A and B are shown apart, each in its own frame.
Chain A
Amino acid sequence: MGHEFPTYSLQLGDYTLYGSWTNVITVLIASLLVFTFAVWGTRRLAMKPTGKQNFMEFFAEFVRGVISSAMDWKTGGRFISFGMTLILFILFSNLMGLPFNVISGHYLWFNSPTADPYVTLALSTLVVAMSHYYGVKLHGLKHYSAEYVKPVWFLLPIKLIEEFANTLTLGLRLYGNIFAGEIMITIILGLAITAQGALNPLGAVFAIFPMILWQGFSIFIGVIQSYIFLTLAMVYIGHKASAEH
């Protein structure tokens, strides 16, 4: 590793904001893939579903199941589009760095967007922000605030820390899994390539088997992590938005 993202900056008064081109490229590609897949899957809808429509409906039912296990459907129904988009976006993001990364000299141009903590923390921040928004919207500010001093008032600091911890753990869990996966791929790849960048035939033979294993495992991790992210997102939102609290 040790590669850096090519960055750009935006001057806002005294502040300089930074961003990376890699992020722009990978997030756009991931979004494009998700959009293409989703729109392709929902073309020519019919009352009697066939083929891909069956699959997309199974997918919708799956997300509905995840939401239903976290909150009642009357509250959770509004989150189904969000949930479907979220899990697909994370899944595609997790998997798109597996076949290849693009590195040019010192810079990394293409990898999994979720191997970047800024992306995963942005998503987890969105989820936690949504949980607060719907907590206030559905139950009023009074009820929402009262939750912080339950069951006893001196838990308030812990409750406040919990909110930040939720954001951090939700984002960093995903980042850590995907980033570690890509590091492992780079290390295995290092077996097959000499320090000068040439192919090392003997190393390549040794690298093939662990590479196949690790790619398979990474696909598994990518799928599982997207499912975990969706489930936890719905649990956090449901915890605030559910009627019984």
Chain B
Amino acid sequence: MDTMMIAAGAGGEGLRILDMIFTLFTFLVLLALLKKFAWGPLLGMMRQREEYVANEIELAEKSRKDAETYVVEQREALSAARTESKEMLDSSRRQAEAEQARLVEQARLEAEQIKIEAEKAIERERELAKQSLQTEVVTQALSAARHVLRSDLKGDEAKQRALVTDFLSKAKGAN
């Protein structure tokens, strides 16, 4: 009790070391608590955002680069396709022309063939007709001769002439 009275009375004069200790202790506890519950999460979130932004920038750069390569690739592919199609068109045109020429040639040859065959056939027919005419003529001549031989021709000129005319007209008619 005595000391308490002195302490209270001498409060202004005595060094209040416990105030310093209490202040420091409380401050350090506050620091630890805030580090855990306030500043830690806050700074962590800020760092996380920083990393996120850096990441996003990197990603954007990468996708831009990718897009550029893609465009170049596409351009190359397009020009390749164009060349190829041109080549295909050329080759098909050449092929078509060759085919056309071949067909024309074939048609010409066939026509030639047909003409030759037709000529041959005509020749053959003519030959046949000739032969048959000859045979007919011979037959007619023979039959006329036979007729002449059979009929009485002596002295009758008019009768002879009629006979020949008759024969001739018959032969003409037979021809």
Q: Which residues of A contact B (CB under 8 A)?
A: 4-11, 16-20, 23-24, 27-28, 31, 34-35, 38-39, 41-42, 45-47, 49, 53, 56-57, 60, 80-82, 84-85, 89, 113, 116, 118-119, 121-123, 125-126
Query: How would you classify the secondary structure of chain B's contact residues: helix, strand, loop or mixed?
Result: helix
A4 touches B11 (CB 8 A): yes
A122 touches B20 (CB 8 A): yes
A56 touches B30 (CB 8 A): no
Query: With contacts defined as CB atoms under 8 Å apart, how many contacts are there between chain A and chain B in the complex?
Result: 138
* Chain B residues positioned under 8 Å from A123 (CB to CB): 23-24, 27
Partner of A23, one of B22, B27, B38: B22
B20 touches A121 (CB 8 A): yes
Number of interface residues of B (CB under 8 A): 38
In angstroms, Cα B42 to Cα A33, docked, is: 18
Among B45-53, B85-93, B114-122, the stretch in contact with A: B45-53
A45 touches B45 (CB 8 A): yes
A16 touches B3 (CB 8 A): yes
In angstroms, Cα B12 to Cα A47, docked, is: 52
A9 touches B7 (CB 8 A): yes
Q: Which 8 A-B pairs have the closest CB atoms?
A: A19-B18, A7-B11, A38-B38, A122-B20, A118-B19, A9-B7, A122-B23, A23-B19
* Chain A residues positioned under 8 Å from B8 (CB to CB): 6-7
